[in-house]
Amino acid sequence: MLISEFAKVTGLSVDTIRFYISKGLLNPDRSLKGGSNPYRVFKPEDVNAARMIRLQQTLGYSLGEILALGEEYRAGEHSPERTLEVLRLQIERLQHRKQALDAALTFLHGKIDWIESGQTGPAPVLEEYKS
């Protein structure tokens, strides 16, 4: 399929697809059609790869990490042990992010309470909510 159809199937914009290609995250085949600028032809495996990229982004992986993990996978370096290592590391990173978000939310709720109470006493300070 060509890029416009690939965009429809994956729900990604054409610009995002081109960006992923430029970063090496997607590697569609090049067609002989298109003259000096051959068309990119996407396969069903590319749809799966695009969905995996979006999932990994949702899980907090950077594009660099996604590229490295994809290269590991394609090189056959994915064992259950390595998968567990990668997943556990990401869980740890997300737990740290969750703590920071929880502190920020507590601060914001405190700030709202302070304003709604007529701003009595000192204003809440974010640093007091960090753990």
Q: Which residues pair with 19 in a beta bridge?
A: none
Residues 73 and 89 in one domain: no
Reduced to 3 states (helix: H, G, I; strand: E, B; else coil), residue 51 is: helix
Q: Give residue-wise pLDDT tens across range 71-108.
A: 888 888 878 898 899 999 999 999 999 999 999 999 99
Same domain? 24 vs 72:
yes
At residue 32, the pLDDT reads 66
Residue 131 pLDDT = 61
* Residue range(s) defining the domain that contains residue 94: 79-131
Identify whether residues 87 and 33 lie together within a single domain.
no
- String of DSSP letters for 60-125: T--HHHHHHHHHHHHTT---HHHHHHHHHHHHHHHHHHHHHHHHHHHHHHHHHHHHHTTS-SSPP-
Domain CATH for 1? 1.10.1660.10
Confidence at residue 126, expressed as pLDDT on a 0 to 100 scale: 82
38 in the same domain as 72: yes
Residue 101: the pLDDT is 93
- Helix, strand or coil for residue 39? coil
Contacts of 32 (CB under 8 A, 6+ apart): 38
Mean pLDDT by 10 residues, the chain (131 residues): 94 96 92 76 94 93 92 84 92 93 93 92 84 61
Spell 72-109 as b/e; 16+ CB within 10 A means b.
eeeeeeeeeeeeeebeeeeeeeeeeeeeeeebeebbee
